[in-house]
Structure 1
């Protein structure tokens, strides 16, 4: 169709002028859209972005400084928004509705298989890691609400039984839903849990004195006389700072959920979905920054790599701390069905191509993926290390490398143009972050051994 013709086309939303690119729903599979509101789409994307990684950001700030951390967080969040912009632009131009189809348009069937396999590995690893966290942490949370002398040999403190129960009673009913838009309500609940975490971190800043108690408890109050420990640092340069960039990068990974959310957005346009992404990333950035800042200002250089462990040491059995630990676990639990959706879609595209929806295959793949995730979380003792290696490569590919490569391939620009420079920079940053993450994991293993 000639773009110079002022042709009017008919869509589900009435006649549309082709020249109005920003207000026009996509002409391909996304054209029909869905029933998901702007607000529920924002909550779904925030839920895809935020996870247990929020617990490690105060440690990242302690090793980069307040200003250094803020600059890095702003850069990474901007890159995440830019890579989403590239994906949406490509979808707008090609009319395709999935990350896998973009791979197909860019590099043929090989590209489609590569993207689908990457999404599958990344999301299975993420789901298994989250279920592993639930298996190890839920018993401790339940125990915290019970009396210290309660019977320890009970079923509700058995991590394996608990993770199977939550998988069957919570994850399966949510994961088997046919559309991701239905998860908007649970995603809003997960966002509330993360917001509650940030509020508690701010409040507890004034519950723990500085300098910190020498003996680790507030009941026997004996503080260090070294008040220099309570001076916040604006910039920090040390070897541990290398962990900050990968931690931040993975904290904004949501790209496998972007296009499924786009497909089900009511009145889907590139501008509308970009606004969903911008609002989601901005709110996540704000919660990340607030929780990291006040967590750091509570413990300073003694902040733990997992923030809540510090509160356990100085405020044992504090009701707010126990509630926020439970809230984080519930938020992680409600994230699993959202991650499951693109993983199942990747399997369906690999096995069945573009065949119409079938409840039989949909249910079978859902059960198969959930069974694999459960088995991994139960029987692989060091699953976070195993998928740390895989995640360092697949995550950076989905977040940085693929959007940049696909855009370079399908939207050829002069080499010295601004768009080409941005796309090349995105690919290079992805390769750098991936290699850095891989090196950090290998060094950690070597030090551990």
Structure 2
């Protein structure tokens, strides 16, 4: 059973949020002006936080404590679409995981070049991808609980802290741009600068806070306590801690990085610093370490979603399966009595690796809607994910366009459309409960916002060449 805490949940959620996207924040401000770009960072943090809040809210209203997932919620709303929901999550997480491996393959030869190593196997990108896969990525991907990754997440977040310190230090020292340079270091304080620049950079801000695929797993691993309070209260603290910390980090790197290089800044701030600088070299190593330790946080939800897709393909939407443990009426979710052998209990050798916890029950003691994942299935699915992501990473050098399409559909679905839709359909406000009423109809607005974001991001990808 999970024994997650507010601290471990905050660390894992924050590490899921902050990835290589932080390196593009100064470029995002360049495209929109300092003030308007900062507003987009703040606005994206609020919309993302509201999506997480709705996930937390829905987990309470469905009474599936310890067993909430996108799959179980789809069984209460649109079971025929559950395969679409989980496929989107699986593809999104798989694609991001592969992109982390590509980053490792791209950066490590450059790091070797900075160390005056210009030939041999150490300049081979596939060698470094293979090395990191066998030593770090693969072993961590086989951990069964998300809470087990909290220590690696701490290490990864120290890399983010170093990057922030690097940006601040170089700005204070004024040592990045020679005085006799012709590089444009001017700064645009107001914006937006143009519709084209805003739309092309918009995905940078939207996708920077995508972490919703792991939120249910974190909620399920929490346990109520007198000190920390209910799962709902703990989850709200986790959301606040992770989103606010990520937002502050993005603002610091974005603003100071843009002020340092002005309109000459490119899409990766770490490449702007001198190659012969030891501080910059350590910064590049930190980025490699961060993405390698973040891969398991993408593998975790990907594995669970693939398990759900396999179940759907084998069984489809069986008549009565949706109501096996629940009775969904116009009044919302209500438990029904367990009769005979209709309820299949989990075997001792089975467990739920991604969303519901083993032996989880609802508030009235009934089994929740779950798809158990056996040990054999766990290792088989994990091996497939690791092997195929490795083969894809060593076969291609850039996944920018593919990830742009996947992010435009998968990220918006996970972050906005599904949380908003589930909130609108499943939250049943009691009389005069304004918070629940606002949450319910706020969910509808968030879903509409998600569809608009999807249209804008797909348009930016197709017509403006934006990348994820």
Q: TM tier, shorter chain?
A: 0.7 to 0.9
Deviation string 1:151-188 (CA, Å, 9 cap, x unpaired) is: 50x22221112112211211111110111100000001
Contact 2:187 2:258 (8 Å CA) reproduced: no
Contact 2:408 2:458 (8 Å CA) reproduced: yes
- Does residue 250 in structure 1 map to residue 207 in structure 2? yes
Q: Which residue of 2 is the match for residue 430 of structure 1?
A: 450
Q: Secondary structure at the match of 1:90?
A: helix
TM-score (norm 1): 0.83
Deviation string 1:126-171 (CA, Å, 9 cap, x unpaired) is: 1111111111222111221x22xx450x222211121122112111
Q: Secondary structure at the match of 1:305?
A: coil
Deviation string 1:200-228 (CA, Å, 9 cap, x unpaired) is: 1011113336xx85xxxx3xx514598xx
Q: Which residue of 1 is the match for residue 146 of structure 2?
A: 180
Contact 1:80 1:399 (8 Å CA) reproduced: yes
Q: Distance in 1 between matches of 2:10 and 2:87?
A: 26
- Does residue 100 in structure 1 map to residue 84 in structure 2? no
Structure 1 residues 106 and 325, CA, compared in 2 at 3 Å: closer, same or farther?
same
TM-score (norm 2): 0.79
Match for residue 262 of structure 1 among 215, 219, 222: 219
Deviation at 1:107, TM superposition (A): 0.7
Contact 1:62 1:236 (8 Å CA) reproduced: no
- Does residue 48 in structure 1 map to residue 16 in structure 2? yes
Aligned residues: 395
- Please list every run of 5 or more consecutive structure 1 residues that lacks an aligned counterpart in the other structure: 1-32
Q: Which residue of 1 is the match for residue 244 of structure 2?
A: 282
- Please list every run of 5 or more consecutive structure 2 residues that lacks an aligned counterpart in the other structure: 225-229, 313-369, 432-436
Q: Distance in 2 between matches of 1:445 and 1:225?
A: 25
Deviation at 1:355, TM superposition (A): 5.5
Q: Distance in 2 between matches of 1:332 and 1:266?
A: 29
User: Any residues of structure 2 matched to 1:28-427 within 5 Å, and which?
Assistant: 34-94=2-62, 95=64, 96-108=67-79, 110-144=80-114, 146-147=115-116, 150-152=117-119, 154-208=120-174, 218=178, 221-224=179-182, 229-231=185-187, 233-238=189-194, 239-267=196-224, 269-311=231-273, 315-352=274-311, 354=370, 356-411=372-427, 418-427=438-447
Contact 2:157 2:290 (8 Å CA) reproduced: yes
Deviation at 1:429, TM superposition (A): 1.6
Cα RMSD for the two superposed structures: 2.3
Deviation string 1:337-369 (CA, Å, 9 cap, x unpaired) is: 111000011122232584544322211111101
Structure 1 residues 166 and 272, CA, compared in 2 at 3 Å: closer, same or farther?
same
Structure 1 moving runs of 4+ over 6 Å:
none
